[in-house]
Amino acid sequence: MGKPTGFIEYQRELPRDLLSEERILHWMEFHKPFAEEKLQIQGARCMDCGTPFCHSGRIFNGSASGCPLNNLIPEWNDLVYHGLWQQALARLLRTNNFPEFTGRVCPAPCEGSCTLGISNPPVTIKNIELSIAEKGFKEGWIMPDPPAVRTGKKVAVVGSGPSGLACADLLNRAGHTVTVYERADHIGGLLVYGIPNMKLDKQILRRRVDLMTAEGITFITNTEVGKDVPAETLLKEYDAAVLCCGATKPRDLPVEGRGLKGVHFAMEFLTGNTRNLLGSTLQDRRMSTISARMKDVIVIGGGDTGTDCVGTALRHGCRSITQFEILDRPPLERQPDNPWPEWPKIFKTDYGQEEATAVYGEDPRIFDIQTLGFTGDADGNLQEVHTVQVEWIPNSTGRRVPRAIPGTEKAYPAQLVLIAMGFLGPEDQLIDQLGLARDARSNVQAEFGSFSTSLPGIFSAGDMRRGQSLVVWAIHEGREAAREVDRYLMGSTWI
């Protein structure tokens, strides 16, 4: 695919971003557009490799490799190279409901398994994907396309994150009457409140929701199934239901001082901030705005959520920002136990760390550090975070575990701590009301491939079923669950 010698002739190139000092002054997306001619050149680098692992989502050594959606990447790279943008869009939409989302927020496991990436920088798959999608909207190629015939079957989708939206989209295309329930005041779940605006502008999300509404999907907000609507409603009023409620139970840090004022879960901080930007009026004390302005902020956790906390705190105008990561600093290059096409477990600098380095002159991350506790003043306000450096050693079973290094204890001044240590699983209320079986990790038990729970007619997909994962995996699960629901309702499926 692409130009046969393109990978030799052309270098990887991405659009330039706004300077860090400039972009932290606002909440807008900071990626600059890329000329079509340059995008075609990047498409030409796709090398007709014969072994395109990029489009085949697999799990190698515990991590994702390639695209879980099985995007036809070599095909639309070739079409972009030849300037056939509308055909490229048609190929992209065959496998991905929302390329305008994944093109912005996906970490691109496809690029990690690009054959060219074995010896050279990989093809800019993610940027090409986003450009195809945005050109489709700009040119009017993406328009409402409601189904011509309705089946008479009614399906409820609970949760409007990426898996719920993908599931609802395909079920609606199949002609079923779909209602999506969302407990928050905006549709999008993780996409609206878990991802900051500078990574995914909420107008982009609104554009897609408006499109789906025009195609016949009903969205009901400010309604929690199992609380505002009885769980039995799913069984009595619908022919099938799909639970896509996410894995929203955060991993806590049970150390001394955890109850001090100023110690929060990351999602409290991020959700409150986006609520403020959207001008939300729904009263929810758990999601009130938390300010980092003129505070020493410490983020505990090194993943995407931690990075989002860093970027958000900088835009608030924090006095300082530090990010703790208990794990070792990753190597600069692939190690022998991390070969291609596995996801490259190497040291990377994301947008938040870039911005912090530009403002304060150094990377905010500290590796091999463990939080021991928090101390505060007489009024219960956070003042310090106490830590120790650790080293990783094998235990009796050979598993590496952290061991404190004597003499490395330290106290960091802090008025705001954000705990971004991941999520443990779905919340309990709806699962318990329906009496659904769970797996060993507390997720809803629903076998991959069938997505059917222990209750007939009730299905589950996304993080609620598989545990915390990527947006692209959530979309994949939503699509696959929709096919199984259609098969359950109709006896067969064409979607």
d(CA 438, CA 45): 46
Helix 202-214 and helix 162-173: axis angle, to 10°?
20
C-alpha distances (whole Å) from 46 to each of 106, 128, 155, 297, 418 are: 20, 11, 41, 43, 41
Q: pLDDT tens string for the chain (495 positions)?
A: 678 899 999 999 999 999 999 999 999 999 998 999 999 999 999 987 888 999 988 888 777 789 999 999 999 999 999 999 999 999 999 999 999 999 999 999 999 999 999 999 999 999 999 999 999 999 999 999 999 999 999 999 999 999 999 999 999 999 999 999 999 999 999 999 999 999 999 999 999 999 999 999 999 999 999 999 999 999 999 999 999 999 999 999 999 999 999 999 999 999 999 999 998 544 444 445 899 999 999 999 999 999 999 999 999 999 999 999 999 999 999 999 999 999 999 999 999 999 999 999 999 999 999 999 999 999 999 999 999 999 999 999 989 999 999 999 999 999 999 999 999 999 999 999 999 999 999 999 999 999 999 999 999 999 999 999 999 999 999 999 999 999 999 999 999
Identity of residue 269: F
| Every domain range in the chain assigned CATH 1.10.1060.10 | 6-138
Give the per-residue pLDDT at 183. Answer: 97
Superfamily of domain 154-249+424-490: FAD/NAD(P)-binding domain (3.50.50.60)
- Write the DSSP assignment of 110-135 as a string of letters: HHHT-GGGGTSPPP-HHHHHHHHHHH
- Write the DSSP assignment of 193-234 as a string of letters: IIS-TTTS-HHHHHHHHHHHHHTT-EEE-S--BTTTB-TTHH
Superfamily of domain 252-421: FAD/NAD(P)-binding domain (3.50.50.60)
Topology adopted by domain 6-138? Fumarate Reductase Iron-sulfur Protein; Chain B, domain 2 (1.10.1060)
Give the per-residue pLDDT at 51. Answer: 83
**Predicted confidence (pLDDT) per residue in 307-316, tens digit:** 999 999 999 9
| Every domain range in the chain assigned CATH 3.50.50.60 | 154-249+424-490, 252-421
**Predicted confidence (pLDDT) per residue in 204-245, tens digit:** 999 999 999 999 999 999 999 999 999 999 999 999 999 999
